[in-house]
Amino acid sequence: MKIVITGSSAGLGKSLYQKFKSNGHDVVGISRSESSTTDLLCDLSRLEEVNFTFNSVSKENDVIDYLFLNAGVLGKINKANEINQSDLIDALQINVLSNKAILDTLINHKVTIKNVIAISSGASNKAYDGWLMYCLSKSALNQLISCYAIENKDIHFLSLAPGIMQTKMQDLIVKYDSNKFSSIEKFKSLYGYNDTPDKIAHKIFMNLERFSSIESGRFFDLRDIRD
Contact 38, 220 (CB under 8 A): no
In-domain check, residue 178: no
In-domain check, residue 20: yes
Number of domains into which the chain is organized: 1
> Is residue 193 over pLDDT 80?
no
Range of the domain at 162: 2-167+197-221
In-domain check, residue 174: no
- CATH number, domain with residue 75: 3.40.50.720
pTM score, whole prediction: 0.94
In-domain check, residue 173: no
Mean pLDDT value of segment 1-27: 97
Mean pLDDT value of segment 193-206: 93
In-domain check, residue 26: yes
Between 85-92 and 132-151, two packed helices, what is the crossing angle to 10 degrees? 40
In-domain check, residue 13: yes
**Structural Rg of the chain based on CA atoms:** 17
pLDDT in tens, 98-138: 999 999 999 999 999 999 999 999 999 999 999 999 999 99
pLDDT in tens, 60-105: 999 999 999 999 999 999 999 999 999 999 999 999 999 999 999 9
Mean pLDDT value of segment 143-152: 98
> Is residue 15 over pLDDT 90?
yes
In-domain check, residue 209: yes
- Give the C-alpha separation, 94 to 108, whole Å: 21
Instruction: Determine the pLDDT at residue 190.
Output: 67
In-domain check, residue 191: no
Using alpha carbons only, what angle is made at residue 161 by residues 156 and 164, rounded to the nearest 5 degrees? 155
